[in-house]
Copies of this chain bind each other. A is one copy, B any other.
């Protein structure tokens, strides 16, 4: 091993990016979901998360298959349609040391799974929740989902006559403290957001427009690559400074906002003409309402509120993951049983 080949690039754990890959994708060539997969691989590698600490969770759909395509060394659970939030909640209850990454589709989260999705957000379960949003049911061949825009056209030519559910606005309404939107065709932004997500404690909702090249990439679709590219509006330019790499750069006064994450990392937002404050929830809601109305695809960090207690904190759990507690810790002794029995005589 002492020959002089250029060493593979490694992250702070000494792992190459290959260690963060998964099995071969079985999705359609060009599917937005695969693009997101690549950014997940990159972000987890760059951050240097131990793969074995990650739990990948999903429901059912093309999107929900993607956990098989990244982080091969992480446990994965492809559960049932629309119910990943519950499974993920249970997994985090069992092992608070896990980094949970939930991948869902718009059908999975906004149609069948809407209730569970909302309740996960409301509980603030620590999980990076990514919706690979293509406005259709890919796996069942292109029916409208609940995020399909009003008036958008199906491949067969039908017009959608129901309003879209905006999962970001809904997440805000449900009390989520980290709400962002991105686009599968914007790798730089997406990687930064995912890394910021890893640094957040609590639920992160990442709504990523992810075109379905087979069923929803045509003229008239509002979730196609061309449409998204044309209508994407950046809230800000976002970059991520990890806690282990705090380099100071000078920025023009007022041109940059830094958000400090709980692990010491920083999310750096460089202003666009918008001058947007991602800590003002009412403004965030109003802006979503307006941009939805105007058919802009607004991307970036929509809302952030660091430092809030997550669900596990409110349960006052012990430090050791519950799954690792031995019998001595979980079986009260003979005397406890005796005490209970006494009270029942």
- Could you tell me which A residues sit within 8 Å of B by CB distance? 111-116, 118-119, 122-123, 146, 161-163, 165-166, 169-170, 173-175, 281-282, 285-286, 289-290, 314
Contacts and interface: CB of A to CB of B under 8 A. Distances in A.
Given A122-B146, A285-B285, A169 B165 contact: no
B119 A146 contact: yes
Contacts of A116: 115
Contacts of A163: 122, 175
Select the residue from A173, A175, A281 with max chain B CB neighbours within 10 A. A173
Identify whether the interface residues of A are mostly helix, strand, loop, or mixed. helix
Contacts of A146: 119, 122
A167 to B, nearest CB: 11
Contacts of A118: 114-115, 118, 165
A269 to B, nearest CB: 23
Given A114-B118, A114-B119, A173 B175 contact: no
A154 to B, nearest CB: 15
Contact of A314 (B119, B161, B289): B161
A290 B175 CA distance: 14
Contacts of A119: 111, 114, 146
Contact of A114 (B114, B162, B165): B114
A75 B101 CA distance: 48
Contacts of A166: 173
